[in-house]
Amino acid sequence: MAETISTNQFKNGMHVEVDGTIYRIVDFQHVKPGKGGAFVRTKLKALESGGVVDKTFRAGEKMPRIHTEVVNVTYLYNDGSDVHLMNSETFDQLAFPADTMREELQYMRENDTVQLLTVDGKPTSLQLPAAVELKVVDTEPGVKGDTVSNVTKPATLETGAVVAVPLFVNVGDVIRVDTREARYISRA
């Protein structure tokens, strides 16, 4: 079930087993200091508890990788306490606590299709597309001539997410947003 991988093969969203606990890699960074050996600094989210921990590994350290299965699901609605999803193949409905999906919900509209990652048949997390197109519902108007360089303003999107956008973006515009870094990419 578990193949062994090296820290050199880490990718965000990958699942690994560390000290008997299964974690999802939220973020990682390879560090090569001028003195001493290289290492990998990671931010891991425990599947069972949902807690996020920071761990540092020596470069090249090996550990078991946990394989995940991907299921396409449709986001139906959020009733405040639970998020309701539907399996796109079997039409089974699933409910998850809304507070465990707060980050993902910022970029999901009703009827959007996303991927549900499962480990041993147990749902672990949602995988969003790298970029989504959302409508701007609230932002301040840009001041003409105020375009020195990289000036941004906050914009509220139709899902409630707030991202920094260039001054020329107005209410009603549809923009592309990077879901991994919560940043503006371009107009759609």
**CATH of residue 113:** 2.40.50.140
Choose one of 16, 32, 66: the last residue of a domain. 66
In this structure, what are the phi and psi dihedrals at residue 168, rounded to the nearest 5 degrees? -80, -5
**What percent of the chain has pLDDT above 70?**
95
CA distance 162 to 153: 10
Instruction: Count how many domains the chain has.
Output: 3
pLDDT for 106: 86
pLDDT tens track for 125-173? 787 888 889 999 988 886 666 556 677 888 899 988 899 888 888 888 8
- Please name which of 147, 136, 146 lies closest in space to residue 171, comparing C-alpha atoms: 136
Question: Do 62 and 80 share a structural domain?
Answer: no
Choose one of 43, 66, 89: the last residue of a domain. 66
The alpha carbon torsion through 78, 169, 114, 7 (nearest 10 deg) reads: -120
In which domain, by residue range, is 116 found? Answer: 69-127
Q: What CATH number does residue 7 fall under?
A: 2.30.30.30
Contact 128, 108 (CB under 8 A): yes
Contact 107, 177 (CB under 8 A): yes
**Low-confidence stretches of the chain (pLDDT beneath 50):** 1
